[in-house]
Amino acid sequence: MKKYFFIITILSFVFSFSVLKAQNFFSYLSSLKIPHQLEFCGEKIPLDIPEVKERAEREFYLLLQQPGQIILYIKRSGRYFPMYERIIKEKNLPDDLKYLSVAESALYMSRSSKGAVGLWQFMPGTARSYGLQVDDYVDERRQPEKSTDAALEYLKDGFNQHKSWLLSAAGYNMGNTNVASHLDFQNGNTFFDLFLNEETSRYILRIVVVKEIMSNPEKYGFRISQNDKYKPDNVKYIECAEEIPNLSKWASDQGTTYKDVKLLNPWILDKKLPKPAKGKVYRIGVPGR
């Protein structure tokens, strides 16, 4: 009897402690307020419009309920943001564009249910139209630098068409032609003039909220040092203009392993590579050591 009483006492204590922790978290979360001013690429979010503020708060509080996901965003940013920032600077584009990749893929080499792939979630047709190779052997949507370059070109084209980075980001989600059609039909000038599908309406404000939290992590209770962030891979590149019939043997010949080659080159889909197109070479990463 004493044994059961002891177990019940422990369980009651654990339950009470869990409830207290939950209450503390709920109290903390409800104490947080969305900033009075938010902006993306220099364009202000009109939080003085009640429905816009409500939509922004929806993304703000829902994201803050996923602390593990936010921690992973911040950790993964150490691997990819330096490269994003370099290419963005080379193209003289707004630094905020890097946050689209967070909203698109969580900085993970993911595949959507619709078939979008990679850090920037390109569909096959759009990827090919921006110069990325997508076939049975190679999928450059999964090549970080090439896909980043293509995504930024798409966004730059959207800005040139719409004269707004918010509309360009909307075009990244729903297509620039579709955005132009809505602007024309609704006689609108800005993103916030438009009545759009829920996915795109949420997408823009999610990007803005992701930027706010990742730019000010300690303000929201996230204390992650630079040392805790994932590092870019230590890679050296080998150029190959020939067929690779056996990728495992090729890796061994380079003093590395098939596993390392696959991890460092997620764009390689098969166990072999055909001869590249005329004038092209494969640039294959191996451990830099």
- For 271-284, write each residue's pLDDT tens digit: 999 999 998 999 99
Across 237-249, average pLDDT = 97
The answer to whether residue 22 scores a pLDDT higher than 90 is: no
Position 24 confidence tier, pLDDT thresholds 50, 70, 90: confident
Position 27 confidence tier, pLDDT thresholds 50, 70, 90: confident
Alpha helices in the chain (DSSP H): 2-31, 50-64, 67-90, 98-105, 124-129, 144-162, 165-174, 176-185, 198-215, 247-253, 258-264
Label the pairing between strands 43-44 and 235-240.
unpaired
Q: Among residues 84, 80, 82, 85, which one has the least CA distance to residue 107?
A: 80
pLDDT of the residue at 4? 59
As a whole number of angstroms, the distance between CA 38 and CA 263 comes to 37
Give pLDDT tens digits for 92-105.
Answer: 999 999 999 999 99
Position 239 confidence tier, pLDDT thresholds 50, 70, 90: very high
